[in-house]
Amino acid sequence: MRLSVLSTKGGVGKSTIALLLSKYFSLNGVKTLLIDRDPLGWVSNLAKIKGKGLLASIADKEEDKQAYFKEVKTKDGGDFYILKLYGDGARFYVDLDIIRRDEKLYKKIKEKYQEIVRNGFQAFIVDNPSMVQWNDDEVQCELRIFRETFPDEKIFRLYISDSSEISIESTLKYIKEIEQTPHKIGQYLGIVINLVPPFPEDLDKAMRLASKFEGIKVVIPFIESLFILNDINVEIPEQVKYLGKEILKLNNKV
């Protein structure tokens, strides 16, 4: 199973949800790889992967696996793995241009990527840049190799938003763009409305807004420890446990 986590803007908890689901799956016996496909590398930095990422390492002809791959040990036993794909920020585009002009480097990227993903993983969770589209380089650089490696892998997409009406409408439009493209691979899964002010009227409003979406619907109130997340050992909220349970159930049915 492959789950791609998407959002229209930063700061809504996309990377945090990807991390928490990785922990939840691992705690439930599912060997999980979190693929950090965001050039900003936030989730990789949280896991203390300070290296360049896979693409930049190969572009610089360096072989240090610790620069892009790590097993993350947690206090509760929800150990999972992270693959940092890209260097920080705009360097990604420079590195990609270098790789494209050198077939040997592309083959090296593919070899190192496959060496990792073929390590018996049962779930792949993909953290993405905001507003990413099917034809964006950040997507195609990795998805092409993944599909060659696992052509029959189930693929799902989960969208994250905050509870502002502007964000909700933007997310609905974004979902329509992604899910109606002829290049679509896999299927829509559902919505997480995150960072909802923890008051009854706000939570009720968020639930009403969630009804505009299809699929799994999860509303998560504002949780300070998640908003200022600086420790990978943070407790998994009940709403994320419910989400993880529903994803695993759906994966078994599809």
* DSSP labels, 164-176: -HHHHHHHHHHHH
Q: Indicate the pTM of the whole model.
A: 0.96
What's the confidence (pLDDT) of residue 167?
97
Q: Which pLDDT belongs to residue 253? A: 65
β-sheet bridge partners, residue 218: 192
The C-alpha atoms of residue 185 and residue 181 are separated, in whole angstroms, by: 9
Please choose, from the candidates 193, 196, 176, the residue with its C-alpha nearest in 3D space to the C-alpha of residue 184.
176
Tens of pLDDT along the chain (254 residues) come to: 999 999 999 999 999 999 999 999 999 999 999 999 999 899 999 888 988 999 999 999 998 999 999 999 998 888 999 999 997 777 899 999 999 999 999 999 999 999 999 999 999 999 999 999 999 999 999 999 999 999 999 999 999 999 999 999 999 999 999 999 988 899 999 999 999 999 999 999 999 999 999 999 999 999 988 877 778 888 999 999 999 999 999 888 65
User: What does the alpha-carbon distance between residue 59 and residue 70 come to, in Å, rounded to a whole number?
Assistant: 20
Q: How far apart are CA 238 and CA 245, in angstroms?
A: 10
Instruction: Give the DSSP letter of residue 34.
Output: E
pLDDT at 221: 96
- For CA atoms 155, 88, 69, 142, the dihedral sign is positive
- Of the candidates 139, 157, 155, 166, which has an alpha carbon nearest to the alpha carbon of residue 214? 157
Q: Are 28 and 246 in contact (CB under 8 A)?
A: no
Domains of the chain (ranges, CATH numbers): 2-253 (3.40.50.300)
- Contact between 190 and 159 (Cβ < 8 Å): yes
Please name the residues in contact with 87: beta carbons below 8 A apart, sequence gap of 6 or more: 39, 41, 52, 53, 55, 56, 95
The pLDDT of residue 23 is 95
| Residue corresponding to tokens 């040997």 | 104
Would you give the end-to-end CA distance of the chain in angstroms?
10
**How many other CB atoms are found less than 10 A from the CB of residue 213?**
19
Query: For residue 7, what is the enclosing H or E element?
Result: strand 2-7
